[in-house]
Amino acid sequence: MQIVIDSREKLPYRFKTSAVEGTLLTGDYSILGIENLIAVERKTLDDLVGCLCNGRERFERELHRGRALDFFAIVAECTLSDLVNGSYHSKMSPKAAIQSLLAFSIRYKLPIFFVENRSYGARVTESLLLKYGRELEKRCESIGKQKLADNKLTTRGANHEHE
C-alpha cells in the first residue's frame, strides 16, 4: 500500500509507509488506487476555525464530496480544549465553532479526530489509511471466497442435472 499526498498540501506529513505525491479531488491524504474510496483532510486549529467561518462554503463543498466516499475524516491538529478555550485567531465564538463541527459531523457522517500535535496527526492519518486498506482487502477476500463457494455450488448443481 502507498499513501497519496495531495500535491497542494503545503506542509505534508511524513510517514513510515511509502508515499507518493498526487492530485486528490478530495482530502489531503489517500491510498494509491482507491482515492475514490477514502480520504483524510488535515486541519490546523486556525485553518479549521477559518473553514467554519470565512471559507465555510468551500469547506462544505469538500465535506459534500467527502460524504460520497466510503470513508472520509478530518484530523485536526488541536485538542477539543483548544476550541473550547478559543485558542485560535478568529472572532468566531468557541460555542459556534463546536456547534458547527457537531452539525457537520451529523450532516456529513464525518469523524473528526482531535490530535495534540503534527506528530500525532501523522500517526493517526497513517493508521486510518492503513486500517482502511486492510479492511478493504479483507472484504475483497471474503467476497472472493463467497463467489468461489457459489461457483462450486452452481457447478455441482449443473453436474447433477446431467447425471
Q: Answer whether 44's CB lies under 8 Å from 87's CB.
A: no
- What range defines the domain where residue 119 resides? 3-138
Residue 9 lies in a domain: yes
Mean pLDDT across the chain: 91
Residue 160 lies in a domain: no
DSSP string, the chain: --EEEETT-SS----SS-EEEE--SSSSEEETT-TTTEEEEEEEHHHHHHHHTTTHHHHHHHHHHHHTSSEEEEEEES-HHHHHTT-SSSSS-HHHHHHHHHHHHHHTT--EEEESSHHHHHHHHHHHHHHHHHHHHHHHHHHHHHHHHHHHHHHHHHHHHT-
Q: Please report which confidence band the pLDDT of residue 152 belongs to, taking 50, 70 and 90 as the band edges.
A: low
Residue 73 lies in a domain: yes
Residue 39 lies in a domain: yes
Indicate which CATH number applies to the domain containing 54: 3.40.50.10130
For residue 80 the three cell numbers come to 477539543
Q: Please report which confidence band the pLDDT of residue 141 belongs to, taking 50, 70 and 90 as the band edges.
A: confident
Neighbours of 87 (CB within 10 A): 14
The more confident residue out of 42 and 142 is 42
Give which of 144, 135, 159, 157 is closest to 38, Cα–Cα. 135
Least confident of 53-62, 96-105, 140-149: 140-149
| Total domains, the chain | 1
Q: Please report which confidence band the pLDDT of residue 140 belongs to, taking 50, 70 and 90 as the band edges.
A: confident
pLDDT in tens, 40-76: 999 999 999 999 998 899 999 999 999 999 999 999 9
Backbone dihedral region for residue 27 (phi beyond 0: left; psi -120 to 50: alpha; all else: beta): left
- Helix pair angle (56-67, 45-52), 10° resolution: 100
pLDDT of residue 57: 95
Residue 150 lies in a domain: no
125 has a pLDDT exceeding 60: yes
Q: Answer whether 14's CB lies under 8 Å from 122's CB.
A: yes
27 has a pLDDT exceeding 70: yes
Residue 38 lies in a domain: yes
pLDDT in tens, 73-95: 999 999 999 999 999 999 999 99
